[in-house]
């Protein structure tokens, strides 16, 4: 099966006074239809910028400096800006973190949705509203016809996020980038949305890239995981394997710092130090200063080890048990 989204060597950098800062560094991953890829990392690891880069929504002073973004084999980056715009929302859609902010507060839900339908399809307003109502039904919103007339502030946070997901689904895109869509929600609502997203991926065959800092959420939702650190993907592979047997010391640190029910009372280990500033990265492996396994060889660029779907970027990977 060919990939719905295939990202190859994507590099995004930002011009600053002290030179270029590379927020996304040679990132490659692919997602097949109906699969969910978890893109995990701390704040500032470049995971959101990766999401925006896939849609081509990087504004100056940022620029996508290299790589390919293939959506069902079609390279976004080779298209004109106008053709890219026609891809957005139709073939590749995005859902944002804070549902309080993503809907326009002064426009009715139905009007916003109708606008999103009609920008890509020449249909009447009433036909567009009918499509919007269907989309709201798909994401499990009760009484969708009434919600269309509501303003965003009249809906709860979870409801708004469902509306945002419904907007992303309007054109049955091949790919949805979900940028921490449950982070701002209550845990109970979060669970509902996660179940909904899993069902949507299975039923519609949409490929989903789930960007999150929450390893616990990603491990329960995603089929595959990519772990990002300082703009690079340091480890990737099937979710179950990566969680059960991490090979990069950073991934191991992340997993160990998630509280577990199996060992109550255990003191949670944490990764020493903090996320590095992208403008002052050490040479070689960027995780080197915080890594318990680091040696002198880590000052040179780490090799891309591993085979097939399981990769790790490290001089001293942990051995698989």
Partner 1 sequence: MLGFLLQRLIQAMIVIIAMSVIVFLGVYAIGNPIDVLIDPGATAEIRENLIRQYGLDQPLWQQYFTFVGQVLRGDLGTSMVYNIPVTDLVFSRLPATLELVFVSVCIATLVGIPAGLYAGYRPNGIAAKAIMALSVLGFSVPTFWIGMLLIMAFAVGLGWLPSGGRGDTGSLFGIPTSLATADGWSHVIMPAINLSLFKMGLLIRLTRAGMVEAMSTDYVKFARAQGLPDRQIVFSHVLRNISIPIVTVFGLELGSTLAFAVVTESVFNWPGVGKLIIDSILQLDRPVMVSYLVLVVILFVLINLTVDLVYARLDPRVRLKGGAA
Tokens of 149: 């007339």
Regarding 94 and contact with partner 1 (CB under 8 A), the answer is: yes
Of 279, 291, 313, 300, the closest CA to residue 44 belongs to 279
User: How far apart are alpha carbons 45 and 276 in whole angstroms?
Assistant: 9
Regarding 153 and contact with partner 1 (CB under 8 A), the answer is: yes
Binds partner 1 (CB under 8 A): choice among 119, 123, 130, 305: 119
Regarding 69 and contact with partner 1 (CB under 8 A), the answer is: no
Closer CB to partner 1, residue 116 or residue 228? 116
Regarding 90 and contact with partner 1 (CB under 8 A), the answer is: yes
Regarding 194 and contact with partner 1 (CB under 8 A), the answer is: no
User: How far apart are alpha carbons 57 and 229 in whole angstroms?
Assistant: 21
Tokens of 276: 């590095």
Tokens of 296: 């002198």
Which range in 70-78, 115-123, 209-217, 255-263 contacts partner 1 by CB under 8 A?
Answer: 115-123
Regarding 120 and contact with partner 1 (CB under 8 A), the answer is: yes
With CB under 8 A as the rule, give the number of residues binding partner 1: 29
Binds partner 1 (CB under 8 A): choice among 105, 259, 264, 308: 105
Binds partner 1 (CB under 8 A): choice among 2, 9, 15, 104: 104
Restricting to residues 6-35, name those near partner 1 by CB under 8 A: none
Binds partner 1 (CB under 8 A): choice among 42, 57, 65, 191: 57
Tokens of 18: 């002290």
- CB distance 268 to 257 below 8 Å: yes
Closer CB to partner 1, residue 159 or residue 167? 167
User: How far apart are alpha carbons 147 and 133 in whole angstroms?
Assistant: 9
Helices (H), the chain: 47-55, 81-87, 99-102, 109-118, 125-138, 144-149, 157-169, 187-204, 215-221, 239-244, 249-256
Residues at the contact surface with partner 1, assessed by CB under 8 A = 55, 57, 85-90, 93-94, 96-98, 101-108, 115-116, 119-120, 151, 153, 164, 167
């Amino acid at each position: 099966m060919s990939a719905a989204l295939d990202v190859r060597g994507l590099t995004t950098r930002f011009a600053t006074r002290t030179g270029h800062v590379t927020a996304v560094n040679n990132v490659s991953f692919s997602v097949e239809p109906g699969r969910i890829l978890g893109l995990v990392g701390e704040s500032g690891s470049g995971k959101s910028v990766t999401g925006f880069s896939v849609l081509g929504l990087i504004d100056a002073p940022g620029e996508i400096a290299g790589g390919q973004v293939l959506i069902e084999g079609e390279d976004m980056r080779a298209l004109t800006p106008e053709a890219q715009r026609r891809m957005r929302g139709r073939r590749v859609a995005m859902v944002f973190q804070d549902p309080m902010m993503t809907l326009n507060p002064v426009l009715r839900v139905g009007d916003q949705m109708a606008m999103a339908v009609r920008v890509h399809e020449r249909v009447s307003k009433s036909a567009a509203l009918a499509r919007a109502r269907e989309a709201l039904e798909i994401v499990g919103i009760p009484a969708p016809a009434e919600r269309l007339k509501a303003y965003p502030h009249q809906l709860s946070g979870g409801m708004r996020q469902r509306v945002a997901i419904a907007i992303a689904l309007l054109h049955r895109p091949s790919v949805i980038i979900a940028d921490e869509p449950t982070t701002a929600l209550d845990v109970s609502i979060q669970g509902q949305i996660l179940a909904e997203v899993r069902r949507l991926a299975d039923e519609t065959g949409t490929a989903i890239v789930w960007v999150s800092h929450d390893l616990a959420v990603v491990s329960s939702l995603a089929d595959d995981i990519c772990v990002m650190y300082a703009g690079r993907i340091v480890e990737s592979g099937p979710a179950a394997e990566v969680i059960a047997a991490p090979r990069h010391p950073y991934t191991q640190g992340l997993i160990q710092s998630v509280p577990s029910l199996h060992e109550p009372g255990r003191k949670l280990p944490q990764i020493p130090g903090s996320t590095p500033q992208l403008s002052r990265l050490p040479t070689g492996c960027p995780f080197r200063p915080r890594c318990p396994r680091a040696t002198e060889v880590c000052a040179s660029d780490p090799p891309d080890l591993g085979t097939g779907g399981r990769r790790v970027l490290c001089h001293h990977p942990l051995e698989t048990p």
